Chains A and B, each alone.
Chain A
Amino acid sequence: METTRIMIVDDSSVMRKIVERSLRQAGFDVSQVFEANNGVEALELLNREQLDLILTDVNMPTMDGLEFVRRLRSEKKAEGVPIVMITTEASEARVREAISYGAQGYIRKPFTPEQVKEHVGPLLRK
């Protein structure tokens, strides 16, 4: 599997570590991980780094995940970068909303490494 540069956006540092560990347990060769506390930090990071994948929480202070994904639409550096939402808010309506904003995948917390693999694998292969 190719090496991957990912960004994890979550206001919980513990969750960011869990997501990273789940990706590695799922077999992804994560070469570099960038962490952001919220959408604002994530947009700043995006301007500095080249990414292969973005995983973001929804409920965050300052700028939530949906607003972050919506703003990514106008960011040239985000073109072609898959976005996966990881959140407790996994109603059908929320999933549809996230996808309409530009997310390609949606993982509900709590999650297993297998579920991460199932949702992230096809996006990284594209």
Chain B
Amino acid sequence: MPGTLNVRRMMSNAVPHAEMRRHLQSVVQEVFSIMVGESVELTDEETSLGIPNITALVGLTGKFDGAVSVRCEMETARLITARMLGLGRNLPSMLNNAVHDGSTTDAVGEICNMIAGAFKTRVCSESERCLLSIPSVIIGTDYQFRVLAATDRVELNFMLEGLPLWISSERRP
């Protein structure tokens, strides 16, 4: 599928997979509640609801070695941007073309950054060194990206006001 991650799945012996999943869900809901002002609902619905065309990615290195990604459709990205900027439901015309002024990529990158940062504090203890990369954002559908040698992967599907949102974490052993 275009715009998807392509990694092998194995279990790591650090933080258990179920715990990683619980932490990721919890931090996603916290970040959206505080910064976007909306709750996101975890859903079992498959990704057939849409095709992501914006992907934000933050790498982690140290005790937790891997990445956190946020993928969504441009409509969702514009909604996130408007809410973060306190613009309400009606997006100004400027935001219809927000890819060009960078606001949309910026907003999704920051959401990913905050999720990765909060996730890091859950899966690494104070004494464990773990660093975050600066967010990267990819726009388009016809691509795949890989976290090289990644093993354990959690992918969660959320709905934000009826729009799909895919959030994942993955790590190397």
* A interface residues, Cβ below 8 angstroms from B: 11-15, 17-18, 21, 59-61, 87-93, 108-112
Task: With both chains docked as a complex, state the minimum distance between the C-beta of A104 and any C-beta of chain B, in angstroms.
Answer: 21
Number of interface residues of B (CB under 8 A): 24
Nearest-neighbor residue (CB-CB) of B35 within chain A: A110
Other-chain contact of B30, A11, A15, A91, A110 (Cβ < 8 Å)? A110
Segment with Cβ contacts to A, from B7-15, B103-111, B147-155? B103-111
With A14-B106, A110-B30, A112-B34 as contacts: A90 and B86 at CB distance below 8 Å? no
Chain B residues near A91 (CB-CB < 8 A)? 121, 126
A-B contact count (CB 8 A): 56
With A109-B117, A110-B30, A110-B35 as contacts: A14 and B110 at CB distance below 8 Å? yes
Task: With both chains docked as a complex, state the minimum distance between the C-beta of A40 and any C-beta of chain B, in angstroms.
Answer: 15
Task: With both chains docked as a complex, state the minimum distance between the C-beta of B17 and any C-beta of chain A, in angstroms.
Answer: 24
Chain A residues near B121 (CB-CB < 8 A)? 90-91
16 additional A-B pairs beyond A11-B134, A14-B81, A14-B107, beta carbons within 8 Å, are A12-B106, A12-B109, A12-B110, A13-B102, A14-B106, A15-B110, A18-B85, A21-B86, A87-B117, A88-B113, A88-B117, A88-B132, A89-B132, A93-B126, A110-B30, A110-B34
Q: In the complex the two chains form, is B102's CB within 8 Å of A59's CB?
A: no
Task: With both chains docked as a complex, state the minimum distance between the C-beta of A20 and any C-beta of chain B, in angstroms.
Answer: 10
Query: For the complex, is B163 an interface residue (Cβ under 8 Å from A)?
Result: no
24 residue pairs A–B, Cβ–Cβ below 8 Å: A11-B134, A12-B110, A13-B102, A13-B106, A14-B81, A14-B85, A14-B103, A14-B107, A15-B106, A15-B110, A17-B85, A18-B35, A18-B85, A59-B132, A61-B134, A88-B113, A88-B116, A89-B132, A90-B121, A92-B126, A93-B126, A109-B117, A110-B118, A112-B34
With A12-B106, A18-B35, A18-B85 as contacts: A89 and B117 at CB distance below 8 Å? yes
Nearest-neighbor residue (CB-CB) of A92 within chain B: B126
Query: For the complex, is B156 an interface residue (Cβ under 8 Å from A)?
Result: no
CA distance A17 to B85 in the complex (A): 7
6 residue pairs, one from A and one from B, having the closest CB atoms? A88-B117, A110-B34, A14-B106, A110-B35, A14-B107, A109-B114
Nearest-neighbor residue (CB-CB) of B81 within chain A: A14
Contact residues, B32-89 vs A (CB, 8 A): 34-35, 81, 84-86
